[in-house]
Amino acid sequence: MHANVTSGAVLGVEAYRIEVEVDLGQGMMVFSTVGLPASAVCEARTRVKSALVNCGYGFPQCRVTVNLAPAHIRKEGTGFDLPMALGILMAERKLPSEALADTLVVGELALDGRVRGVRGILPLAAQALRLGLKRVIVPRHNAAEAAVVDDIEVVGVDHLAECVEILTGRAQPIPVPAFEEPPPEEGAIDLRDVRGQAVARRALEIAAAGGHNLLFLGPPGAGKTMLARRLPTIVPPLTFPERLETSIVASVAGLLPADRPLVAQRPFRAPHHTVSGVGLTGGGSLARPGEVSLAHNGVLFLDELPEFRREALESMRQPLEDGEVVIARAQATLTYPSRFMLVAAMNPCPCGYLGHPRRSCECHPGQVQAYRNRISGPLLDRIDLQVPVDPVDPRSLRAEAVEESSATVRGRVLAARAIQEARSGTGRCNAHLRPAELRRYCVLDARADAFLTRAMERLDLSARAHDRILKVARTLADLAGRESLLTADVAEAVQYRQLDRGASAGARVVARAQP
Ligand SMILES: Nc1ncnc2c1ncn2[C@@H]1O[C@H](COP(=O)(O)OP(=O)(O)OP(=O)(O)O)[C@@H](O)[C@H]1O
Ligand SMILES: [Mg+2]
């Protein structure tokens, strides 16, 4: 006797249709799973058997074979439990053969038959719709997440027995509550809280306007962390496709709250500096998205940058460049999106006071160099805005003057983004301009051209730094509502490359800053 149930698996953020084929045959009582199952799928046998017995359906007294097709895709996770149990009941004729027509089923079973939530329901439901299926049966915990996908019926179940009752028409599914948009969170933190720091505020605005990566460099207590945390308050709101993309990554990571299935705010991820390379970029034995993907369409904030492991930082180089992480594994290649803004903060030296106007630095030049060398040249190359943050002027902390609010700055950022969109029509901001677009949109006159050539030679800047300077200059002109790039734009953009100067220029900077 044979039965077939449609289920699905997620590789990276892509969902695939998996057919769960159940065959009951003559022979010894053996329950086997084939079709490249990983260990969690092999363990499903124990859960499925116990759940069926404990719900009173019994377990077939014959040879049970479950094949997960297609066999070339490695099957991970616990979502095949429910389709396997339903497939066995169908093969035993305890469920009508047409009960699961046009239906995709996923869910983990507890030993007593309860259905537990699984990861990746959102991409699975979207894939079910693309495949032309009419219905998904999912754990009730994930039902709201599946219901984000319009035009597909969502049945959420809490128990195997409840699922069987629904499929045999003896019970009606509990309707999934309509998804309600959460009220916008505003006002909790605001740029108005930051006193002084005009240069750093300007850099934050440029970063938000052009999607540029940013590094703050300054003494303890200057407000670096405070500024970085306010970046999400001045970036444009997520578009609907961005919300879906970000929600899918959260779904695959199992981080989507049951009552908030569609991410509303741009993510702001701030991993601790002890994070591993796998934690930062993803992968590992369980194939999870890393912090760079959880920050997709948002901000990744690395506070105390030199304290991060070098191998972890280096693993970010490819995602920073390509906007996606590609993880090659023995049986499959996984891809996670990772288009994020990198914001980092660090002190100028181990003691933190190099270049401080009032306190003297206790570090040896060699220590300073070693500290800075923890961040490799190629990584610095990818950070468009490297900005010194001076200590706060004590008078400005108690001054009466009201600082500019996030809403005002956001207005200018939105205007600059609108100019970029009108120009390219691609949805990509200046930081992600392609080489051909760079040549078309960042044309320099003779004076600005000569200035940039001179700066490149004197500061030993790389070809990548050259392109990034042009992109920042483009953003500066867009913020000013100007079409042409001026020498002043290029000069300001060069100013924002404080750290990644060639070895000789870098040594000169450190030597100059020494008291
Ligand atoms: N410019 C500022 N305006 C108002 N308050 C500030 C400013 N800078 C610092 N503060 C106050 O000091 C606290 C510490 O600032 P913050 O954590 O941003 O410093 P930091 O530069 O990140 O220091 P560290 O290098 O030690 O991490 C803030 O929570 C805030 O109360
Ligand atoms: Mg800090």
Tell me the per-residue pLDDT of 148-165, one tens digit each, with 9 for 90 and over. Answer: 998 899 999 999 999 999
> What average pLDDT score do residues 375-394 get?
88
Q: Is 167 in the pocket of ligand 1 (CB under 6 A)?
A: no
Looking at residue 500, its pLDDT comes to 65
Q: Is 50 in the pocket of ligand 1 (CB under 6 A)?
A: no
Closest CA to 506 of 382, 362, 380: 380
Confidence of residue 186 (pLDDT cuts 50, 70, 90): low
The bound ligand whose nearest atom lies closest to the alpha carbon of 218 is 1
> What average pLDDT score do residues 282-295 get?
87
Confidence of residue 329 (pLDDT cuts 50, 70, 90): confident
At 384, give phi and psi (nearest 5°). Answer: -70, -35
Q: What are 307's two structure tokens?
A: 């304290």
Q: Is 344 in the pocket of ligand 1 (CB under 6 A)?
A: no
* Count of beta carbons in the 10 Å neighbourhood of residue 291: 22
Please give the mean pLDDT across all residues of the chain. Answer: 90
Looking at residue 185, its pLDDT comes to 67
Looking at residue 501, its pLDDT comes to 57
- Rounded CA-CA distance 147/163 in Å is 18
CA of residue 221 to ligand 2 center, whole Å: 7
Largest CA-CA distance found in the chain, in angstroms, rounded: 87
Q: Across the strands, what pairs with 177? A: none
Looking at residue 504, its pLDDT comes to 41
pLDDT in tens, 395-435: 777 777 788 999 999 999 999 999 999 998 888 899 999 99
Looking at residue 187, its pLDDT comes to 63
Looking at residue 372, its pLDDT comes to 87
The bound ligand whose nearest atom lies closest to the alpha carbon of 349 is 1
3-state secondary structure of 246: helix
CA of residue 347 to ligand 2 center, whole Å: 9
Confidence of residue 204 (pLDDT cuts 50, 70, 90): very high
Looking at residue 508, its pLDDT comes to 41
Q: Which atom of ligand 1 is nearest to the CA of 194?
A: 3
Q: Which atom of ligand 1 is nearest to the CA of 345?
A: 22
> What average pLDDT score do residues 111-115 get?
97
Pocket probe mutation, ligand 1, options 201, 202, 225, max atoms within 8 Å of Cβ? 225
The bound ligand whose nearest atom lies closest to the alpha carbon of 229 is 1
What sign does the dihedral 16-22-27-31 (CA atoms) show?
Answer: positive
Q: What percentage of the chain reaches a pLDDT higher than 90?
A: 67
With 60 as the cut, is the pLDDT of residue 511 above it?
no
Whose C-alpha lies nearest to ligand 1, atom 25? 220
Q: Is 191 in the pocket of ligand 1 (CB under 6 A)?
A: no
CA of residue 279 to ligand 1 center, whole Å: 27
pLDDT in tens, 124-135: 999 999 999 999
Q: Which atom of ligand 1 is nearest to the CA of 392?
A: 1
Q: Is 226 in the pocket of ligand 1 (CB under 6 A)?
A: yes
Looking at residue 75, its pLDDT comes to 86
Looking at residue 440, its pLDDT comes to 93
CA of residue 290 to ligand 2 center, whole Å: 23
With 80 as the cut, is the pLDDT of residue 512 above it?
no
> What average pLDDT score do residues 3-14 get?
93
DSSP letters spanning 169-224: TSSPPPPPPPP-PPPP--SSS-GGGS-S-HHHHHHHHHHHHHT--EEEE--TTSSH
- Rounded CA-CA distance 295/280 in Å is 10
Q: Which atom of ligand 1 is nearest to the CA of 222?
A: 21
Confidence of residue 283 (pLDDT cuts 50, 70, 90): confident
Q: Is 396 in the pocket of ligand 1 (CB under 6 A)?
A: no
Own/partner contacts of 414-418, CB < 8 Å, gap of 24 or more, are: 414/236, 415/481, 416/209, 416/210, 416/475, 416/478, 416/479, 417/209, 417/236
